Amino acid sequence: MDLLTANDRPGEYPASYYAENAAHLAPFPQAKGEIACDVCVVGAGFTGLSTAYHLAERGYDVVVLDAQRVGFGASGRNGGQVSMGQRREQDDLEGVVGEAHARDLWKIGAEAVDLIKELCQRDEVRTEFVPGIVHAVHRARDHKHNRAYVAFMHQKYGYDQIRVLEPDECRETVNSPSYYGGTLDMGSGHVNPLELVFGLARLAQGAGARIFEQSKVKKIDEGSPATVHSETAQVTARYVVLACNGYLGSLNAHVAARVMPINNYIVATEQMSAEQQEAIIKKNYAVADSKFVVNYFRFSEDRRLLFGGTESYGYKFPADIAASVRKPMTEIFPQLENVGIDYAWGGTLSITMNRLPHFHRVKGNIISMSGYSGAGVALGTLSGQLAAEAIAGQAERFDVMARIPTPPFPGGSALRSPLMVLGMLWYGLRDRL
Report if residue 117 sits inside a domain.
no
Does any domain span residue 341? yes
The pLDDT of residue 430: 47
Tell me the residue ranges of DSSP E strands in 145-259: 162-165, 182-190, 210-212, 217-221, 226-230, 233-242
Region 211-228: what's the mean pLDDT? 97
Q: Is residue 118 part of a domain?
A: no
Phi, psi of 388 (to 5 degrees): -65, -40
What's the rounded Cα separation, in Å, for the pair 101 and 110? 14
Q: Looking at the domain assignment, is residue 323 inside a domain?
A: yes
Question: Does residue 1 sit within a domain?
Answer: no
Q: Which SS3 state, helix, strand or coil, does residue 176 take? A: coil
Q: Are 174 and 282 in a shared domain?
A: yes
Q: What does the pLDDT look like over 53-79, one tens digit per residue?
A: 999 999 999 999 999 999 999 999 999
| Mean pLDDT confidence for 304-318 | 90
Handedness of CA 259, 90, 94, 106 (dihedral sign): positive
CA distance 284 to 277: 8
**How far, in Å, CA of 63 to CA of 86, rounded?**
29
Q: Compute CA 91 distance to the chain's CA centroid, rounded to the nearest angstrom.
A: 22
Pair (269, 330) in one structural domain: yes
pLDDT(197) > 70:
yes
CA–CA separation, 202 and 209 (whole Å):
10
Q: Is residue 54 part of a domain?
A: yes
The model's pLDDT over 353-378, given as tens digits with 9 standing for 90+, comes to 999 999 999 999 999 999 999 999 99
Q: How many CB atoms lie within 10 A of CB 11?
A: 13
Degrees to nearest 5, angle at CA 54 with 50 and 55: 115
DSSP 293: S
Select from 347, 379, 376, 383 the least CA-distant residue to 262: 347
> How many whole angstroms separate alpha carbon 199 and alpha carbon 205?
10
Question: In the prediction, which pLDDT does 314 show?
Answer: 76
Residues 287 and 227 in one domain: no
Instruction: Answer whether residue 301 shows pLDDT above 50.
Output: yes
Q: Which of 321, 351, 381 is the last residue of a domain?
A: 351
- State how far the alpha carbon of 202 is from the alpha carbons of 1, 55, 62, 116, 380, in Å: 32, 14, 14, 15, 17
CA distances (Å), 335 to each of 180, 182, 324, in order? Answer: 18, 21, 18
The CATH number for 254's domain is 3.50.50.60
3-state helix, strand, coil in the chain (%, to 5): 40, 25, 35
Q: Is the pLDDT of residue 418 over 70?
A: no
Please report whether residue 431 resides in a domain.
no
Q: Of 298, 322, 351, which one is at a domain's C-terminal end?
A: 351
Give the span between the Cα atoms of 326 and 218, in whole angstroms. 38
Work out the average pLDDT over 258-268: 95
Task: Give dist(CA 299, CA 423) in Å, integer.
Answer: 31
* Closest to 186 (Cα-Cα) out of 237, 118, 122, 131: 131
Question: Binning pLDDT at 50, 70 and 90, where does residue 312 land?
Answer: confident
Give the start-end residues of each E strand in 295-390: 296-299, 305-312, 341-351, 358-363, 366-370
- How many whole angstroms separate alpha carbon 148 and alpha carbon 6? 44
pLDDT score at 416: 46
Q: How confident is the model at residue 429 (pLDDT cuts 50, 70, 90)?
A: very low
What confidence category does residue 410 fall into, taking pLDDT thresholds of 50, 70 and 90? confident
Residue 419: what pLDDT? 52
Answer for the pair 258, 358: CB distance below 8 angstroms, yes or no: yes
The answer on 276 and 184 residing in a single domain is yes
User: By residue range, what is the domain housing residue 66?
Assistant: 17-78+194-259+354-423
CB distance 285 to 38 below 8 Å: no
* Residue 172 and residue 286 share a domain: yes
159 domain residue, yes or no: yes
On whether both 200 and 222 belong to a single domain, the answer is yes
- Report the alpha-carbon distance of residue 180 to residue 141 in Å, rounded: 8
Average model confidence (pLDDT) across the chain: 94
Q: Give the SS3 label for residue 225.
A: coil
pLDDT at 315: 82
Among 38-52, 384-398, 419-433, the least confident range: 419-433
User: Is the bond preceding residue 10 a cis peptide, omega within 30 degrees?
Assistant: no
Q: Are residues 255 and 241 in the same domain?
A: yes
Question: For the chain, how many structural domains are there in total?
Answer: 2
Phi/psi of residue 271, nearest 5 degrees = -65, 145
Question: Which CATH number do you get for residue 316?
Answer: 3.30.9.10
Which of 330, 351, 372 represents a domain boundary (last residue)? 351
Q: What's the rounded Cα separation, in Å, for the pair 387 and 297?
A: 31
Share of the chain above pLDDT 90, in %: 90
**265 and 342 in a common domain:** yes
Alpha carbon distances (Å) from 150 to 272, 342, 405:
33, 38, 26
Q: Give SS3 for 340.
A: coil
Residue 278's CB: how many other CB atoms inside 10 A? Answer: 15
Per DSSP, what are the bridge partners of residue 183? 135, 164
Domain match, 273 and 410 both: no
Most distant CA pair in the chain, distance: 63
pLDDT of residue 412: 59
Q: How far apart are CA 245 and CA 66, in angstroms?
A: 12
What are the helix (H) ranges across 207-288? Answer: 253-256, 274-280
Q: What is the pTM of this model?
A: 0.94
pLDDT average, residue stretch 176-204: 98
Same domain, 286 and 252: no
DSSP single-letter state for residue 283: G
Clarify whether residues 166 and 270 are in a common domain. Answer: yes
Instruction: Specify whether 344 is located in the same domain as 286.
Output: yes
Confidence bin at 313 (pLDDT 50/70/90): confident
